[in-house]
Structure 1
Amino acid sequence: MSEQLAEERASARPIPGQVGGRAVMLIPRRDPGTDESMLPPDYQRIIAAVRQAAGPVMAREVGEGVGVDVSVKAKLEPLRGKLVRLVDRGWLQKLPDGRFTTRL
Structure 2
Amino acid sequence: MSSLEKIAGRRAELDELAESLAKQLAEVDAEREELTAAERVLRRLSEQEAEAAGQDAGLPQQVQVAGRSVLKVPHRREVVDASALRGDYRRMLQIVQAAGGPVMVKDVGAELGIDVVVPGRLEPPRGKLSKLAVRGRLYRLPNGTFTIRA
- Under TM normalisation by the shorter chain, which class is it? 0.7 to 0.9
Closer, same or farther: CA 16–77 of 1 in aligned 2, 3 Å: farther
Alpha-carbon distance, 1:48 to partner = 1.0
Residue 62 of structure 2 is matched in structure 1 by 15
Cα 1:18–1:64 shift into 2, 3 Å? farther
User: Any stretches of 5+ residues in structure 1 without a counterpart?
Assistant: none
Other-structure match for 2:106: 60
Question: Could you say which structure has the larger radius of gyration?
Answer: 2
The structure whose residues are more often helix, as a share, is 2
Structure 2 gaps of 5+ residues are 1-52
TM-score after normalising by structure 2:
0.55
Correspondence for 1:29 among 75, 80, 89:
75
Which gives a bigger RCO, structure 1 or 2 (Cα 8 Å, sep 6+)?
A: 1
Give me the TM-score of the superposition, normalised by structure 1.
0.77
- Structure 1 segments (4+ residues) deviating >2 Å: 12-19, 21-25
Which structure shows the bigger proportion of residues in strand conformation? Answer: 1
Query: How many residue pairs end up in the alignment?
Result: 97
d(CA) in 2 for partners of 1:41, 1:101 = 19
Report deviation, 1:13: 3.5
